[in-house]
Every structure is written in structure tokens, then in C-alpha cells.
């Protein structure tokens, strides 16, 4: 598009702040960035005649990051302006993604404690965050999705944002996890009502809501352990 070509040829510092990946991530959280913006932030600098957003767009070539996991050194060197150092920097990003995925493929959730250990870093978040974890019939990890960020009472997390990843991953089970920045993991009435609603929708759509876990700074609350699911 003409607009994109115009944006990609400008210096990053001359762009409006809402188009700068670093500023956008600081304001709205890293999960707010698109694949293009994430790659741009990781690369750091563009090439002659093309800023880092334009370079990231050129590398992605209308694909998403997952599609580029098998990209080769030769593929990157064939892009005008990318030398060996920049190509290796980009390859390192994708190699990290592959290694993380290999570790996550081994994860099995046998009980709420397993889930808590998997997401306990949520307790350090200053904003309330809702995450969906998706499993197969053997409780093996398939993937996770950040569904909402901020106060759940304000965000009104949409059920479709929970179920779309479940459909895409061909999942059986859904585990919801969110944190309470105040440190106390006990559920509010809104948490309970929200969970009951998602439980019913899960049944209607053919999924199993396995648990909803609330993470605090000294532990967690499990809806399944307390007989609330």
C-alpha cells in the first residue's frame, strides 16, 4: 500500500508515537504488538532506504512469525540490504522460538499446581491479565493466548477471544488463568459469574473448561479444586 511504503521509508524517530513498536509496547504491553512490530523490535535497526518496520515487513512477506521458523540463512541473505550479521541476528530470534516451543510441547497439566508453576510469573504483573491455556484430551499443552489485559471488570473479556484459539488449535481443554495485582487470589463475585458463563459456553461449543486459576503473590486459587467447576 502507498501508506505503508511512505511509513516504511521514514525514519522511526519521525513516525507518530503510536506507530513506534517500542513506545507502543511500553504504553500497551508487549502483547499488543503485531508480528511485524515484534520482529521490528527484535531486529532493532533497518537498512538503507527502509526503516526497521519496513525490513520486518519485507522478511515476513505477508506471513506470520510461526511460518518463518524454518527460514534459512540463504533466504535472508537474498533480501537486499541484509548482511550476514543481521541475518544471524534474525535467525537467532527464530531459533529461540523453536526451542521454547520444544520445551512447551513436553508440558502436561496433571493438576492445578502444574498450571500454577507454568504461569506463576503472572504474580509479578502490575496489570490484571487473562490467559487461556489450551490442551488436548491427554492434558498436554497445545498453546496459550493472552485474552485480555487490564481490570477484567473493565475489559469485559469476550468469549470469542477465548474460543477462537481453541478452535484454531483443535483443543479439547481450556484452562483460564488470571492474576490479582493486589496479591490476594480469592475470586470476586465477578470472577465466579464470569467462570460460570464460560463453563456453560464451553459445554455448548464442545470444549471442556478444566479450570480457572487466579494467581496471587503468595499462591493461587483453583476453581476446580474448590469444586466450583
Considering 40, 73, 104, which residue would you say is the last residue of a domain?
A: 104
Considering the domain boundaries, does residue 69 fall inside one?
A: yes
| Highest-pLDDT range among 31-40, 78-87, 116-125, 132-141 | 132-141
Domain match, 65 and 132 both: no
Considering the domain boundaries, does residue 34 fall inside one?
A: yes
Domain count along the chain = 2
What mean pLDDT value characterizes the chain? 85
pLDDT of 152 reads 52
Average pLDDT over residues 199-224: 94
pLDDT of 65 reads 78
| 91 or 10, which is more confident | 91
Of the pLDDT bands very low, low, confident and very high (cuts 50, 70, 90), residue 198 is very high
Considering the domain boundaries, does residue 227 fall inside one?
A: no
Are 159 and 130 contacting, i.e. CB atoms less than 8 angstroms apart?
no
**pLDDT at 48 > cutoff 60:** yes
Range of the domain at 15: 2-104
Domain match, 79 and 142 both: no
Considering the domain boundaries, does residue 21 fall inside one?
A: yes
Domain match, 7 and 93 both: yes
With helix as H, strand as E and coil as C, how does the chain read?
CHHHHHHHHCCHHHCCHHHCHHHHHHHHCHHHCCHHHHHHHHHCCCECCECHHHHHHHHHCCCCHHHHCCCCHHHHHCCCCCCHHHHHHHHHHHHHHHHHHHHHCCCECCCHHHHHHHHHHHHHCCCCEEEEEEECCCCEEEEEEEEEECCHHHHCCCHHHHHHHHHHCCCCEEEEEEECCCCCCCCCHHHHHHHHHHHHHHHHHCCEEEEEEEEECCEEEECCCCCCC
Domain match, 8 and 90 both: yes
What separation in angstroms does the CA of 19 have from each of 9, 53, 71, 221?
13, 9, 27, 39
Considering the domain boundaries, does residue 229 fall inside one?
A: no
Considering 43, 72, 104, which residue would you say is the last residue of a domain?
A: 104
pLDDT of 64 reads 77
Average pLDDT over residues 2-15: 64
Residue 208 exposure: Cα atoms within 13 Å on the Cβ side? 10
Domain match, 136 and 77 both: no
Average pLDDT over residues 98-124: 84
Of the pLDDT bands very low, low, confident and very high (cuts 50, 70, 90), residue 200 is very high
pLDDT of 3 reads 44
Give the rounded percent of residues in the chain with a pLDDT score beyond 90.
36
Amino acid at each position: 500500500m502507498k501508506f505503508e511504503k511512505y511509513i516504511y521509508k521514514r525514519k522511526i524517530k519521525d513516525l507518530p508515537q503510536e506507530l513506534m513498536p517500542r513506545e507502543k509496547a511500553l504504553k500497551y504491553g508487549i502483547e499488543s504488538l503485531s508480528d511485524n512490530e515484534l520482529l521490528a523490535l527484535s531486529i532493532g535497526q533497518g537498512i538503507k532506504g527502509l526503516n526497521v518496520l519496513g525490513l520486518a515487513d519485507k522478511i515476513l512477506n505477508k506471513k506470520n512469525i510461526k511460518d518463518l521458523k524454518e527460514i534459512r540463512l540463504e533466504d535472508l541473505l537474498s533480501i537486499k540490504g541484509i548482511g550476514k550479521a543481521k541475518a544471524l541476528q534474525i535467525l537467532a530470534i527464530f531459533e529461540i522460538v523453536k526451542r521454547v516451543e520444544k520445551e512447551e510441547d513436553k508440558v502436561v497439566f496433571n493438576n492445578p499446581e502444574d498450571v500454577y508453576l507454568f504461569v506463576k510469573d503472572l504474580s509479578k504483573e502490575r496489570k490484571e491479565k487473562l490467559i487461556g491455556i489450551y490442551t488436548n484430551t491427554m492434558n498436554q499443552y497445545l498453546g496459550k493466548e493472552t485474552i485480555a489485559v487490564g481490570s477484567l471488570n473493565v475489559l469485559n473479556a469476550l468469549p470469542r477471544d477465548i474460543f477462537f484459539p481453541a478452535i484454531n488449535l483443535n483443543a479439547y481443554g481450556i484452562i483460564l488463568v488470571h492474576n490479582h495485582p493486589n496479591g490476594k487470589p480469592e475470586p470476586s463475585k465477578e470472577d465466579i459469574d464470569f467462570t460460570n458463563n464460560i463453563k456453560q459456553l464451553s459445554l455448548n461449543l464442545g470444549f471442556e473448561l478444566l479450570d480457572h486459576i487466579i494467581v496471587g503473590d503468595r499462591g493461587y486459587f483453583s476453581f476446580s479444586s474448590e469444586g466450583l467447576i
